[in-house]
Amino acid sequence: MAHQAHAYHMVDPSPWPLTGAVAALLMTSGLAIWMHFHTMTLMSLGLLLLLLTMYQWWRDIIREGTFQGHHTPPVQKGLRYGMILFITSEVFFFLGFFWAFYHSSLAPTPELGGCWPPTGITTLNPFEVPLLNTAVLLASGVTVTWAHHSIMEGQRKQAIQSLTLTILLGFYFTALQAMEYYEAPFTIADGVYGSTFFVATGFHGLHVIIGSTFLAVCLLRQAQYHFTSDHHFGFEAAAWYWHFVDVVWLFLYISIYWWGS
Amino acid sequence: MAAFGRFSQMLLRSSLTQTRRQLAAAAGHGGDSAKTWKILTFVIALPGVAVCMLNTFLKEKEHSHDAPPEFVPYTHLRIRTKRFPWGDGNKTLFHNSHVNALPDGYEGHDYTCLVWDGKDRRILFLILCP
């Protein structure tokens, strides 16, 4: 009889770490090829492999945790540490772009006109769409908290409603930002103002899309009875990530949109 | 005015966190906190979004008739050190010809350009640039 005498999860052999690494290689080299030789094949192949890897790896984790019972309390604790460490690494990622922004804007060079915003840049009004975006993300933080409490109290219908509302708010933010990007009177090629603005807000937008997708997966899982009132770490991880995305936006709004205008 | 809406939303959130803790303490294990957050959603969060939507809509209407900013061929803007890997290589990913000028001006506009001799500090000639 094969019983383990410990509460930890000795994971079965899996090909997904390897396919993930290969995907990373193809995407990065593919990006370089696209930039210099104008063909997207390698990069697209890498992207496809990445999507397949993510789908299958996370599907396997859900099977191990939800259906096979491998996610005991110590295992869950490890997953919590993992998510916290990952989010911390993302905080440092954004810190870099804020550093770039403050470096350029606190001491604007003569080439820019010695001022910030630089000469010739028409900034966005922080009290129009950016303010709406702030309200949308703050509201989504309230709705995701409603969802969490609903799950903890075993309120299935409310959990589904509040989670759906959160995701819709996330989509609304993305749509508003896409419209702002199209209507902006400045571009990424407009010196260091354009670079810092679009790289910082662009990576933030990508994280909103990732966060919305994570929440959407949680919605599908909630609908399929995966979560119990005591054990729903996948949802908690998604909610932590979503709050992180909200906080990054607040810093972006204060620094780039408001102070930087 | 709209900023007030956002500030009050943020202030209320922090004082409401205290209220939530009190409620949770009173109810033992916070047995009906979902209701609290549901109320917060429909009374504060979503109306806050609605107010900001109205504000945005009104402000957009106010200056939907504005012309795009005047084109000045600054060298620190519209940088093109390398072709973009799409299209003609000259337009950014979210290029909007109504509000984004290319390095030599807005598309479809004609400009009178003066050619300046920096060494002798004089205008050499005026030309029409499409």
Which mean pLDDT values do the consecutive 10-residue runs of chain A (261 residues) have?
A: 87 98 98 94 98 98 97 97 98 98 97 96 96 98 98 97 98 98 96 97 98 98 97 98 98 97 91
Give the end of a domain, one of A45, A69, A93: A69
Residue A38 is part of a domain; what is its CATH number? Answer: 1.10.287.70
Q: pLDDT tens across A126-137, in order?
A: 999 999 999 999
Determine the 3-state secondary structure of B89 from DSSP: coil
User: Closest residue of A to B70, CA-based?
Assistant: A120
Given a contact cutoff of 8 angstroms between Cβ atoms, the answer to whether A84 and A92 are in contact is no
- CB spacing of A138 vs B68 below 8 angstroms: no
Cβ neighbours of A191 in B, within 8 Å: 76-77, 79
Share of chain B above pLDDT 90, in %: 45
Q: Are residues A175 and A95 in the same domain?
A: yes
The verdict on residue A171 lying in a domain is: yes
**Domains contained in chain A, number:** 2
The verdict on residue B40 lying in a domain is: yes
The verdict on residue B12 lying in a domain is: no
Number of Cβ atoms within 10 Å of the Cβ of A1: 2
The whole-angstrom distance between B83's CA and the closest CA on chain A is 9
Among the partner-chain residues B37, B59, B68, the one whose CB lies closest to the CB of A142 is B37
Residue A187 is part of a domain; what is its CATH number? Answer: 1.20.120.80
- CB spacing of A149 vs B31 below 8 angstroms: no
Residue B115, pLDDT above cutoff 90: no
Determine the 3-state secondary structure of A168 from DSSP: helix
* Mean pLDDT along residues B72-81: 94
- CB spacing of B49 vs A127 below 8 angstroms: no
Handedness of CA A69, A72, A78, A81 (dihedral sign): positive
Q: Are residues B125 and B84 in the same domain?
A: yes
Q: Are residues A65 and A150 in the same domain?
A: no
**Is A185 part of the contact surface with chain B (CB cutoff 8 Å)?**
yes
| A187-A191-A194 Cα angle (round to 5) | 40
User: Which one, of B42, B86, B122, B71, lies nearest residue A185 by Cα?
Assistant: B71
Give the end of a domain, one of A40, A69, A98: A69
Q: Are residues B85 and B122 in the same domain?
A: yes
Given the structure tokens 């993930």, which residue do they identify?
A: A20
Domain holding B43, by residue range, is 18-65
**Is A224 part of the contact surface with chain B (CB cutoff 8 Å)?**
no
Q: Are residues A112 and A175 in the same domain?
A: yes
The verdict on residue B48 lying in a domain is: yes
The whole-angstrom distance between A169's CA and the closest CA on chain B is 10
Q: pLDDT tens across A205-220, in order?
A: 999 999 999 999 999 9
Among the partner-chain residues A120, A136, A152, the one whose CB lies closest to the CB of B74 is A120
**Domains contained in chain B, number:** 2
The verdict on residue A261 lying in a domain is: no
* Mean pLDDT along residues B72-87: 93
Determine the 3-state secondary structure of B113 from DSSP: strand
**Is A195 part of the contact surface with chain B (CB cutoff 8 Å)?**
no
- CB spacing of A145 vs B37 below 8 angstroms: yes
Domain holding A62, by residue range, is 1-69
Q: Are residues A64 and A90 in the same domain?
A: no
- CB spacing of B45 vs A142 below 8 angstroms: yes
Number of Cβ atoms within 10 Å of the Cβ of A140: 29
Among the partner-chain residues A127, A138, A181, the one whose CB lies closest to the CB of B45 is A138
Least confident of A60-74, A198-212, B4-18, B30-44: B4-18
pTM beyond 0.80: the answer is yes
Q: What is the model's pLDDT at position B10?
A: 56
Q: pLDDT tens across A146-176, in order?
A: 999 999 999 999 999 999 999 999 999 999 9
Cβ neighbours of A171 in B, within 8 Å: none
Q: Are residues A92 and A183 in the same domain?
A: yes
Determine the 3-state secondary structure of A219 from DSSP: helix
Q: What is the model's pLDDT at position B124?
A: 81
Give the end of a domain, one of A69, A100, A129: A69
Q: Are residues A150 and A212 in the same domain?
A: yes
Number of Cβ atoms within 10 Å of the Cβ of A204: 20
The CA distances from residue A236 to A46, A151, A230, A233, in Å, are: 30, 10, 11, 5
User: Which one, of A64, A87, A60, A84, lies nearest residue A75 by Cα?
Assistant: A64
